[in-house]
Structure formats: C-alpha cells, structure tokens
Amino acid sequence: MNDLYDLGIPHPVTPYPKLIINAAITGMIPTRKNSPHVPLSPKEIIEDAVRCIRAGASIVHLHARDEDGEPTYRKELYEGMILGIRERCPEAILCVSTSGRRHNSFDCRSAPLELEGKAKPDMGSLTLGSLNFPEQASVNTPEMIEALALKMSERGIIPEIEAFEPGMIHAVKVLMLRGVLTGPLYVNILLGSLYASPATLFDLSCMVKSLPPSAHWAAAGIGRFQLNMNTAAILMGGHVRVGLEDNLYYDYARRNLATNEQLIRRVVRLSSELGREVAKPCEARAMLGLPSGQRQDRESWDMGMRRSEKIGRSMSGK
Ligand code: ZN
C-alpha cells in the first residue's frame, strides 16, 4: 500500500495499484453435477485458464483432478497444466494448491512444489491455520504450515497465504518474526465460509487493518458473497480472487450458473467503472517481486541446454 493510504486519504485521491485478478477456477469441491462449467481435466483447465488470462486474470490458482474428477496432489498432472498454460501465456502467474483436505501428509501436500524448470510454479497456497468447512475440517498444524512455507522459500515460490479469520493474519506476523515468511507477502482474505469469519465490510476492514504494511492483499467471498467482497476489495485498494472454486453462480439469487470467464469479465468491468486499471500478468509479476515469465523461460531454456550439453558430453565420453 502507499503512504497516502496509510494516512487515511481516500481513493481516488490516493492512487491505488493496478488490480491483480486471481482466478480460482476449479477447487476441491465442485463436480460436473454442480456445474457443467467447472474445468476438471488438465485439458479443460488449460483452456479455461487461458480464457481467464485473456479476460484479465494475472494469477491462476490451480487444483489438479484425477481421471475420475477427484482432487489429487499428483505432480505430473500439475506439470501438464503448468506447461500447457505457459506455452500460450508465458507471463501468467501460476499457483498450485497445497491443500490437505484430502491428503494431509507433507509429501503429498508439497509434491507440486517439487516441479522444476518451466513447470516450477510461481506460487503455492498456504492456509495459516485450521478451520471447519461444511463438508470437512481443514487441518493445518503449525508444523505443517512451517514445513510448507520453508519448502516454498527454499524453492523461490511465493506463498499465496489464505486467511479465513483474524487469527490467521496474526499467524502471518508470528511466522515473519520466526523468519519463516521472509519474501513478498500476498494474503488472500477469504470471508463467508459457514464456520469462519463472515463476509461483512467490518470483518474485511479489521483484517486488512491488521495486515503487515508491506502485504499485498486480495479479498474473496464464498458463494453468494463473492461479488460483494470482490467489489469491496476494488474500492479499498486490495486485489481480487474470483472463480468457480469459491462460487458457482453469476446471479446467486436466481441460481444462474457462471463460467470462470464471465466472473473475470464482470470484475474487469466493475474495476474499470470504479476507476482502477487491471494489471497485466507482467505488471502483476513486477508488483509481487516475481521474475518475468520471459526470464523464467530463459532460465529453463538455459537449464535445458546445460542438461543436454551434459548428456552430449557423457555420450561422447568427455
Ligand atoms: Zn484452492
């Protein structure tokens, strides 16, 4: 955030940063029965991600599903999706899930963080505490959170911090003090889940006010609260997470199902009406301190060249 904002000078006198749109397109829960629009196979996810990026998203939050549409941590599926999206949108910021709702061992949860070269994710999700969802509990012990955060820091992956209630923002500070969270901070504030903080402007404001000043933040609303929380974030200088992972409907009251692209386009329209430009993926990379996608390409190309030179040398007996 900037100095004028910290002094309480309101928008539009305080110029806000360009809006980073994070598209959460699949998630763990929605099935084909819930909506025909949820992308499930790697091919569907790649196509949908590309549509969302072209519509204005700069981050895509990925969950892999297996052949039966069930959530999986298998890294070859993440690899296929990341390479497929990068081939067409090299600057897009790609975030993998480390959710423990189905598989709660460190090896399973950290598997997608192991990907190398061009398939290495830019970000990984990191929920900073345990909570109850209507379907099940999401258990994130302090040891697990710390181990995942350290793995990300070791690998140069930025955590997409998920905070469902104020205690999880306090945990950000504890982990900063302990030297576990050291890099750029990007905090998603997710409100409106049945057993966590409700999606009110009061709750959102309190959580935003308690963030470390250096943090970038985004707001997400679960289900019927998505549009309200996204709009509030645009007005407050935050960023937005939107997509079918959190909400299946374009119009919740009428139960009109949405596509991910429609949800992104609505946020882009709102943002433009409310006087905020939308960040392109390369601009979002600069804001979050990530290397440019082109450089990343270059690095993985260099790595590939070194590897093939090595293979060449060993084949020629050098
Ligand atoms: Zn997720």
Question: What is the number of alpha carbons within 13 Å of residue 302 lying toward its C-beta?
Answer: 6
Torsion angle, CA of 312/315/317/318, rounded to 10 degrees? 10
Instruction: Give the span between the Cα atoms of 275 and 250, in whole angstroms.
Output: 22
pLDDT for 295:
56
Positive/negative CA dihedral, 299, 18, 148, 74: negative
Contact 91, 285 (CB under 8 A): yes
Q: How far is the CA of 309 from the centre of ligand 1 (A)?
A: 39
Q: How far is the CA of 97 from the centre of ligand 1 (A)?
A: 6
Q: How far is the CA of 233 from the centre of ligand 1 (A)?
A: 19
The model's pTM = 0.91
Q: How far is the CA of 24 from the centre of ligand 1 (A)?
A: 7
The string of pLDDT tens digits covering residues 100-153 is 888 889 999 999 999 999 999 999 999 999 999 998 899 999 999 999 999 999
Domain 17-316 has CATH 3.20.20.70: yes
Both structure tokens of 261: 């692209």
Q: How far is the CA of 294 from the centre of ligand 1 (A)?
A: 26
The pairing of strands 64-65 and 59-62 is: unpaired
Chain centroid, CA 231 distance in Å:
18
Q: Tell me the β-bridge partners of 65.
A: 71
Q: Residue 18 carries which DSSP code?
A: P
Q: How far is the CA of 245 from the centre of ligand 1 (A)?
A: 7
Both structure tokens of 115: 């990907």
Q: How far is the CA of 28 from the centre of ligand 1 (A)?
A: 7
pLDDT for 316:
36
Contact 162, 127 (CB under 8 A): yes
The string of pLDDT tens digits covering residues 47-71 is 999 999 999 999 999 999 999 999 9
